[in-house]
């Protein structure tokens, strides 16, 4: 983020960081995520939090929803496209608490959620993050 910035980055700024993180992914992954929708929201809604057993909305900074590519042959008619949700307020809170740059934090969450799109394990996701 810009030096001397005195306000919290808005959804558009978070989206730009996410798009830059996606652009930095290896080409073989970028080629297969074109139909994934990127959504920036303030917080996860109550239904999502409840389904994940999370009480505090600040504990969820990102989420992948939809079928992963390893299950894509089972898509049902009318099903929503796969989505990566970034939760702005939770990201900003983690940014302030950890001191990790917002760019690095958003990249970390994007890589993790892209990993879910591919059906990757946590170990695979860590390797992808190192490559990004």
Q: State pLDDT tens for residues 43-63.
A: 999 999 999 999 999 999 999
Q: Which fold has domain 11-70+79-131?
A: Zincin-like (3.30.2010)
| R_g of the chain, CA atoms, integer Å | 15
Q: Tell me which of 81 and 105 has the higher pLDDT.
A: 105
28 vs 70, residue with greater confidence: 28
pLDDT of residue 3: 62
Determine how many CB atoms are found less than 10 A away from the CB of residue 40: 20
Mean pLDDT across the stretch 8-14? 95
Domain spans of the chain, in order of start: 11-70+79-131
Residue 98: both structure tokens together: 């950890």
């Amino acid at each position: 983020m810009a030096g001397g910035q005195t306000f919290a980055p808005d959804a558009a700024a978070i989206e730009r960081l996410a798009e830059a993180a996606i652009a930095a992914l290896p080409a073989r992954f970028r080629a297969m995520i074109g139909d994934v929708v990127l959504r920036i929201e303030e917080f996860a809604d109550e239904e999502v939090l409840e389904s994940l057993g999370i009480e505090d909305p600040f504990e969820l900074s990102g989420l992948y929803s939809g079928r992963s590519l390893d299950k894509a042959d089972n898509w049902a008619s009318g099903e929503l496209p796969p989505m990566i949700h970034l939760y702005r307020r939770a990201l900003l809170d983690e940014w302030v608490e950890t001191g990790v740059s917002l760019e690095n934090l958003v990249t970390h969450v994007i890589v993790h959620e892209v990993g879910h799109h591919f059906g990757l394990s946590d170990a695979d996701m860590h390797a992808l993050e190192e490559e990004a």
